[in-house]
Each structure stands twice: as C-alpha cells, then as structure tokens.
Amino acid sequence: MRERIVGAFVLLTLGILVTFTLVRAYTADGVLTQAEQRKADRSVELLSELVASRDEADQELDRAYLRAHLARGERVDFVAPDGRRLRVDGDGYRPAEASSDVVVSHDVPGGGRITLRSSDYLIDQRVSDVITSLVILGAVLVGLAAALAFVAARTLSRPFIELRDHALALGRGRFDLGIPRYAVPEADTIGQALEHSAGQLHDLVRREREFASNVSHQLRTPITALRLELEDVRLWPDTPQPVADELGRALGQVDRLQTTVNDLLDLARTRRIGGSTDLDLSTLVKTSVERWRAAAGTRDIALGVPGCVQVHLAPGPIEQVLDVLIDNALVHGSGTVTVAVFEDGDAVEVRVSDQGRGRPGDEVFHRNVGSSDDGLGIGLTVAAEIAEALGGRLFLGDGPTTSFRLQLPRR
C-alpha cells in the first residue's frame, strides 16, 4: 500500500512538472524571440545613427568600429550609397545556423542601408537555461513529494497494519482486541467489524466449551455405570465362563468408547490430541483389522503391513480413524477390503481401499454432505479432523476404485 501511494505521488508530481516544463519552454521561446526582436530593432537604429554620424564627420567606417558596437552573436551588413558592402561578425555568431536568425534592416540617414542579424542559438541557449533550472527545481520537488508521500503513506497504512495484527491475534484465539479509533473512517469501520466478530466468536467458543463440559459429564456417567454393571455380571459366580469371556471383551469395547469420548472432547476443546506414546503402527493396524473381521461376514479383509513401523502418536485416535474407514469400506464398498501400511521417510501412510467402482469427490469430507441414508454421515469429516489434529491428513487416493489414504508423521 505504501509503495503504491508513494509511486502515485511521484508520478503525479512528474506529470505536472513535465507538462509545466513543456509549456514553459514553449512560451519562453516565444517571449525570448520577441525580446530579441525588440533588442535588434533598437540596436539597428543605434548602428544607423552611428554610421550616419561617422559619415557626417568624414571618418572612415571600418570593421573595428562596427565590431565594437556589436553584441555577442550578432552580424551587421552595411551597404553604402555607392554600393560598397561591409560585413562584420560579432563574437559568437554562427553563420551555419542563420536560417532562423532575427533579421532587422534600417535605412541610414544620408544614404545606405544597414542590416542586423541576431543568431538564433542565443535564444536556444537561453531556453535551455530555463529548462535546466526547471529540471533542477523539478528534481527537488520530486524529492520533496516522495518524502511527503512516504510520510503520508506510513500514516495512512499504520491503522491497517495494526488491524492486520489484531486479525492475526483473533485467529490465535485472543478476543479482547482493544482496537483504538483512527482518523481514517475505513480503518474504523474495519476495526468495529473485527471487534464485533471477536465478540461473536468469544460467545461461540464459550458455548462450545460449556457444551463440551456438559457432554463430558453426561456421557462419562452412564459409561461408567455401564462398565460397573458389566464388571459385576462378569464377576458374578453364577455367570457361565463363555458369557464372562464375552463380557470381558465387551468391557474392552466400553473402555475404547470411553477413550474415544475423551479424545473427541479434547479435539472439540483444543483441536489437539494428547497422549502420544511410542507404538508399533503395524501391530495397531493388525489389531483393528482383527476386531472388524467378525463384522465383515463373508467379505474378506486383506492385510498388508511390513515389520515393525515405529511411531510416536496417540493410539486411540488412529484406531478411531481406522474404524471409520474400514466400516465405510464394508458398508458402502464391495469386494475385498485392503488395509496396508507404507513407510516414507519421516512419514507413514495407511491405505484402506475396496474394489467398488466409482471414486467419490472430496466433498465427502464436508459436514453438510451425506446422511445416514447414504451412509457417509459425518464420520469421514470427524476422521479427517482427527488426522489433522494428529499432524497428518486424510484424503482420497487416485484410481478408479475407492481408496482412502491416511498420512501421519512418525512423531
């Protein structure tokens, strides 16, 4: 912004100065030509009187006498009554450039005619002097204009630079902006809009935090009660061993549900997921796939994992994303579901694909796309948000069939 304002000021000043210089040079040429014409008229009259007085005194008219009365850049031609001619050039006269000379003739009292020429280069030189002075003045004015433009630009841009800093602070979650009032109406309007938006965002964040706190309490209480009931039934002496074993597995799923609720609430509150630990991604993927084999029924789940793939991440969120992807492939895909792990330097990747034809668009990650009827829902959206909270990303793979790629950093 500042550069544009300074440039505009300088260009405007240059335009005015160039226009003024051209007009001034044109008018100066005319004025100087008229002045030279009047000077030549007076000079030729004086010379004619001098020649007449010289003739009356019976003194010889020679070149030295005429040259002594010529100004710089002048030439005089005298034609005597008897036809004798006398030409004298003054200092600085340039006969090669005499096409536009100022020429004045005058009859000499007592006979004869005298002609005076004034070289046009003198006029050109004076015009050049005028232009030179204007150029020097213009350079000074351009410098002053640039300095004033810089000061004005800094004064005008300062409010917007401060507003940018306030906007960045708002993006970092600071809502008490305290934006001052400026002398620039546009800046004041933007500041008021930022303060209004900060108030609305603060209210929205407050309600979301209250909602997260309420959900945390409302969900944890019944989950804890359910766990206690299952634990009591599993430990009841009359409970058959096969039922107790199934209850043990159910308790594991309840624990996973509790962890999932905690992670999602942390994600909703801070957009970050903690609890990172060193783990083998291959083992975690194998465990998730084995947990889904019973739900797959006749569908086959192929597993492609290398040896130990060591990462430093939170295991719960990764399992949640895998559950969403495998469930999506089983419910809405066809053929064999393939889950594979790949290593790529400082990153790892988990791919979940099936043999169903037709690649969905990226809009499947939007919250407003899909419903329980078409099966997409918001599961993929939440999975993508969890991937971002882990420092990675979830996106669609290339190819004619459906493939989801989960890229994660090693730590």
The SS3 assignment for 117 reads strand
pLDDT of residue 1: 58
pLDDT of residue 369: 44
Residue 61 belongs to some domain of the structure:
yes
Q: Which of 107, 127, 147 is the last residue of a domain?
A: 127
Residue 178 belongs to some domain of the structure:
no
From CA 138, how far away is CA 182, in angstroms rounded?
34
Residue 161 belongs to some domain of the structure:
no
For residues 309 and 280, the answer to whether their CB atoms sit within 8 Å is yes
61 and 10 within one domain: yes
From CA 352, how far away is CA 393, in angstroms rounded?
14
278 and 399 within one domain: yes
Residue 371 belongs to some domain of the structure:
yes
Question: ∠ at Cα 257 (254, 263), nearest 5°?
Answer: 145
Domain that holds residue 238: 185-267
299 and 251 within one domain: no
202 and 89 within one domain: no
List phi, psi (to 5°) of 84. -70, 140
Residue 291 belongs to some domain of the structure:
yes
pLDDT of residue 286: 93
Start-end of H helices in 236-314: 241-270, 281-296
For residues 212 and 265, the answer to whether their CB atoms sit within 8 Å is yes
Residue 189 belongs to some domain of the structure:
yes
From CA 390, how far away is CA 402, in angstroms rounded?
23
For residues 117 and 102, the answer to whether their CB atoms sit within 8 Å is yes
For residues 330 and 296, the answer to whether their CB atoms sit within 8 Å is yes
CATH number reported for the structural domain that contains residue 93 in this entry: 3.30.450.250
287 and 327 within one domain: yes
281 and 202 within one domain: no
DSSP 295-334: HHTTS-EEEE--S--EEEE-HHHHHHHHHHHHHHHHHH--
235 and 254 within one domain: yes
From CA 242, how far away is CA 199, in angstroms rounded?
58
pLDDT of residue 342: 94
Q: How many domains does the chain have?
A: 3
36 and 108 within one domain: yes
73: exposed, middle or buried (Cβ count in 10 Å: 0-12, 13-18, 19+):
buried
384 and 361 within one domain: yes
1: exposed, middle or buried (Cβ count in 10 Å: 0-12, 13-18, 19+):
exposed
From CA 90, how far away is CA 251, in angstroms rounded?
122
Mean per-residue pLDDT pooled into runs of 10, the chain (411 residues): 68 79 75 80 86 82 83 85 86 65 85 84 74 82 81 78 84 79 83 86 78 70 80 84 85 77 64 74 92 86 90 88 90 90 92 83 66 52 86 88 91 82
301 and 207 within one domain: no
- Pairing label, strands 113-118, 74-79: antiparallel
CATH number reported for the structural domain that contains residue 212 in this entry: 1.10.287
332 and 223 within one domain: no
Pair of tokens at residue 386: 């969890």
pLDDT of residue 352: 93
Pair of tokens at residue 409: 């950093």
From CA 209, how far away is CA 323, in angstroms rounded?
27
Residue 75 belongs to some domain of the structure:
yes
pTM of the complete model: 0.45
CATH number reported for the structural domain that contains residue 365 in this entry: 3.30.565.10
Q: Which of 218, 251, 267 is the last residue of a domain?
A: 267
Give Cα separations from 217 to 47, 184, 214 (angstroms).
Answer: 119, 50, 5
Q: Which of 243, 267, 291 is the last residue of a domain?
A: 267
pLDDT of residue 350: 95
Closest CA to 288 of 244, 255, 260, 326: 326
From CA 88, how far away is CA 191, in angstroms rounded?
82
Residue 177 belongs to some domain of the structure:
no
251 and 286 within one domain: no
H/E element holding 358?
none
